[in-house]
C-alpha cells in the first residue's frame, strides 16, 4: 500500500527531526573556566607606614582636629585645652583655634604661625599681638609628619582594620620614644615609652587618625591620651599673618 508506506516514512522523518531538535536544545555550550586571579599580597606594617610617610610629605595642605581623652594639653603656662583644631599649608603656615581654660575662666584661643613668626589673638581684647621667638606652642608642630612619627615605632604590628569617615584603613600600633613625637605633641616626659596607633587609608595611604598615650610630666599620673584626626587633604586654604 503506497499511501501507508509514504505515511510511515513521513512519520519516521518527523520523529527523527523532533529528536534532533530536542537534542540540540538540550546541549549547553561549554562555559570557559574563569582565570584564577592571585590575591594582592598585604603589605607589611613597615611598608604601609613608609608609603604613608611619603604620601603625607607630598601634600600641600590639610585640616586637623585633636581631642584629649584623658588629661589636657598646655598652650601656655596655666592655659590648658582638651580640644583644638586648625589647618596648615606648606611650607610654613598654620592656624589653630581652641577652647582653653585659665584660672577656671574659659578662653577662645586663636594662634597663627607664618614663616616662623607666631601671632596670638588676645582673648580679652581680641587684638592680635606678635609672640616672642620660642613662646609659641605651635613651634615645631608639623601635622604632615604624623606618618613619619609612626615610622620610628618599635614592634610595629597590624591591629584590626577599621573604617574612618567611610574610608577603609590599615590600623597599626607600636611603641615610640619621646623624641619621635615632638613634632606632634611637643616635649614629653623623657624615658617614657609612648604607645601609638595610626589609621592609614588603604587606597591613598593618607593618615586619617593618630592616637598617642603619653605623659608630659611626672605629675601626669594617669597619662594623657590625644587623638588627632586629619581631613580635607590638599583643599584650598588661605592663611595670612594678621599683623604686618
Q: What is the pLDDT of residues 153-175, one digit of tens each?
A: 889 999 989 999 999 999 999 99
Could you tell me if residue 62 is inside a domain? Answer: yes
Could you tell me if residue 12 is inside a domain? Answer: no
Q: Higher confidence at residue 80 or residue 216?
A: 80
The whole model's pTM is what? 0.78
Write out the DSSP string of 27-64: PPPPPPPPPP-PPPPPPPHHHHHHHHHHHHHT-SEEEE
Separation of alpha carbons 205 and 149, rounded Å:
15
Q: CATH number, domain at 129?
A: 2.50.20.20
Residue 185: CB partners within 8 Å, gap ≥ 6? 73, 212, 214, 226
State yes or no: pLDDT of 25 exceeds 90: no
What share of the chain has pLDDT > 70, as a percent? 82
Domain that holds residue 87: 45-231
pLDDT of residue 30: 52
pLDDT of residue 39: 65
Question: What tens digit of pLDDT does each residue of 32-47 get?
Answer: 555 666 566 789 999 9
**Phi (first) and psi of residue 146, to 5 degrees:** -60, -35
Could you tell me if residue 242 is inside a domain? Answer: no
Cell numbers 593618630 correspond to: 210
Could you tell me if residue 34 is inside a domain? Answer: no
Could you tell me if residue 96 is inside a domain? Answer: yes
Separation of alpha carbons 220 and 238, rounded Å:
37
Separation of alpha carbons 77 and 62, rounded Å:
28
Q: Give the pLDDT band of residue 179 (cuts 50, 70, 90).
A: confident
Are the C-beta atoms of residues 162 and 153 closer than 8 Å to each other?
Answer: no
The number of folded domains in the chain is 1
pLDDT of residue 116: 87
Range scoring the smallest mean pLDDT among 111-115, 133-137, 172-176, 222-226 = 133-137
Mean pLDDT of the chain: 83
pLDDT of residue 41: 77
pLDDT of residue 21: 40
Could you tell me if residue 15 is inside a domain? Answer: no
Could you tell me if residue 183 is inside a domain? Answer: yes
Amino acid at each position: 500500500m503506497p499511501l501507508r508506506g509514504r505515511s510511515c516514512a513521513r512519520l519516521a522523518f518527523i520523529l527523527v527531526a523532533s529528536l534532533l531538535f530536542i537534542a540540540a536544545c538540550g546541549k549547553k555550550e561549554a562555559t570557559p573556566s574563569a582565570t584564577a586571579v592571585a590575591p594582592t599580597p598585604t603589605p607589611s606594617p613597615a611598608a604601609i607606614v613608609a608609603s604613608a610617610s611619603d604620601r603625607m610629605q607630598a601634600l600641600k595642605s590639610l585640616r586637623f582636629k585633636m581631642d584629649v581623652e584623658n588629661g589636657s594639653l598646655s598652650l601656655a603656662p596655666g592655659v590648658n585645652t582638651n580640644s583644638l583644631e586648625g589647618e596648615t599649608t606648606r611650607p610654613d603656615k598654620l592656624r589653630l583655634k581652641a577652647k582653653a581654660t585659665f584660672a577656671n575662666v574659659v578662653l577662645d584661643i586663636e594662634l597663627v604661625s607664618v614663616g616662623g613668626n607666631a601671632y596670638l589673638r588676645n582673648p580679652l581684647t581680641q587684638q592680635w599681638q606678635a609672640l616672642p621667638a620660642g613662646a609659641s606652642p605651635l613651634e615645631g608642630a608639623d601635622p604632615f609628619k604624623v606618618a613619619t612619627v609612626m615610622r620610628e615605632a618599635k614592634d610595629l604590628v597590624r591591629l584590626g582594620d577599621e573604617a574612618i569617615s567611610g574610608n577603609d584603613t590599615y590600623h597599626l600600633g607600636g611603641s615610640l620614644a619621646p623624641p619621635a613625637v615632638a613634632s606632634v605633641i611637643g616635649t614629653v616626659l623623657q624615658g617614657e615609652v609612648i604607645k601609638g596607633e595610626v589609621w592609614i587609608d588603604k587606597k591613598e595611604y593618607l593618615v586619617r587618625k593618630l592616637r598617642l598615650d603619653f605623659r608630659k610630666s611626672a605629675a601626669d599620673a594617669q597619662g594623657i591620651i590625644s587623638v588627632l584626626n586629619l581631613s580635607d587633604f590638599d583643599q584650598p586654604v588661605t592663611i595670612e599673618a594678621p599683623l604686618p
